[in-house]
Amino acid sequence: MNTPRTGSRMEASLPSSSYCSPAHWERERTALLAREWFCIGREEQLAAPGDHVVAEVAGDSVLVVRSRQGELKAHFNVCRHRGAALVAPELDARWKVVSSGGVSAAGTIRCPYHHWTYSHGGELLNAPFLGADDGVCKAELKLYPVAVEAWAGFVFVRLRPPAAPGDRSLAAQTARAASRAGLAAYPLADLRVGHRIEYEVEANWKLVLENYNECYHCGPVHPELCEVVPAFRQAGGNELTWEQGVPHRPGAYTFTRSGTTRRKPFATLTPEEVLLHKGDLVYPNLMISASCDHVAAFVLWPLGPALTRVQCLFLFDAAEMARPDFDPMDAVEFWDQVNRQDWAICERVQRGLQSSVHERGWYAPMEDASLDIRRYLAGVLGDA
Nearer to ligand FES, 77 or 256 (CB): 77
Applying CB under 6 A, which of residues 68, 114, 257, 309 lies at the interface with ligand FES? 114
Query: With binding defined as CB under 6 A, does residue 113 bind ligand FES?
Result: yes
Nearer to ligand FES, 61 or 234 (CB): 61
Applying CB under 6 A, which of residues 84, 208, 228, 371 lies at the interface with ligand FES? 84
Q: What is the DSSP string of 136-192?
A: --GGG-PPPEEEEEEETTEEEEESS---SSS--SHHHHHHHHHHTTSGGGS-GGG-E
Q: In sequence order, what are the residues at sequence separation of 6 or more whose Cβ sits closer than 8 angstroms to the Cβ of residue 10?
A: 4, 362, 363, 364, 365
Q: For CA atoms 152, 216, 202, 162, give the dihedral sign.
A: negative
Choosing among ligand FES, Fe ion, none, which partner's interface includes residue 264 (Cβ < 5 to 8 Å by kind)?
none
Choosing among ligand FES, Fe ion, none, which partner's interface includes residue 111 (Cβ < 5 to 8 Å by kind)?
ligand FES
Choosing among Fe ion, ligand FES, none, which partner's interface includes residue 144 (Cβ < 5 to 8 Å by kind)?
none
Query: With binding defined as CB under 6 A, does residue 24 bind ligand FES?
Result: no
Find the binding residues for Fe ion in span 50-109 (CB under 5 A): none
Segment 365-368 long-range contacts (CB within 8 Å, at least 24 positions apart): 365/9, 365/10, 365/238, 366/214, 366/215, 366/216, 366/235, 366/236, 366/237, 366/238, 367/210, 367/213, 367/214, 367/216, 368/11
Nearer to Fe ion, 36 or 342 (CB): 342
* β-pair type (108-110, 117-119): antiparallel
Number of residues that bind Fe ion (CB under 5 A): 1
Nearer to Fe ion, 320 or 342 (CB): 342
Query: With binding defined as CB under 6 A, does residue 218 bind ligand FES?
Result: no
Choosing among Fe ion, ligand FES, none, which partner's interface includes residue 342 (Cβ < 5 to 8 Å by kind)?
Fe ion
Applying CB under 6 A, which of residues 19, 76, 116, 266 lies at the interface with ligand FES? 116
Kind plus residue range of the DSSP H or E element containing 5: none
The closest alpha carbon to 312, from 163, 228, 198, belongs to 198
The span from the CA of 302 to the CA of 24, in Å, is 13
Stretch that binds ligand FES, among 107-115, 222-230, 260-268, 277-285 (CB under 6 A): 107-115
Nearer to Fe ion, 186 or 343 (CB): 343
Query: With binding defined as CB under 5 A, does residue 342 bind Fe ion?
Result: yes
Nearer to Fe ion, 273 or 342 (CB): 342
Q: What minimum distance in Å lies between the beta carbon of 228 and Fe ion? A: 13
The closest alpha carbon to 362, from 7, 111, 38, belongs to 7
Q: What minimum distance in Å lies between the beta carbon of 52 and ligand FES? A: 17
Nearer to ligand FES, 113 or 242 (CB): 113
Do residues 136 and 128 make contact, with C-beta atoms less than 8 angstroms apart?
Answer: no
Burial environment of residue 121 by CB neighbours within 10 A (0 to 12, 13 to 18, 19 or more): middle
Stretch that binds Fe ion, among 119-127, 136-144, 282-290, 335-343 (CB under 5 A): 335-343
Query: With binding defined as CB under 6 A, does residue 82 bind ligand FES?
Result: yes
Do residues 51 and 45 make contact, with C-beta atoms less than 8 angstroms apart?
Answer: yes
The residue ranges of DSSP E strands in 67-136, in sequence order, are: 72-76, 102-103, 108-110, 117-119, 124-126
Q: What minimum distance in Å lies between the beta carbon of 245 and ligand FES? A: 51
Number of residues that bind ligand FES (CB under 6 A): 8
Do residues 75 and 122 make contact, with C-beta atoms less than 8 angstroms apart?
Answer: yes
Give the bridge partners for 11, in sequence order: 363
Query: With binding defined as CB under 5 A, does residue 280 bind Fe ion?
Result: no
| Binding-site ranges for ligand FES (CB under 6 A) | 79, 81-82, 84, 111, 113-114, 116
User: Which residues of the chain form contacts with Fe ion (CB under 5 A)?
Assistant: 342
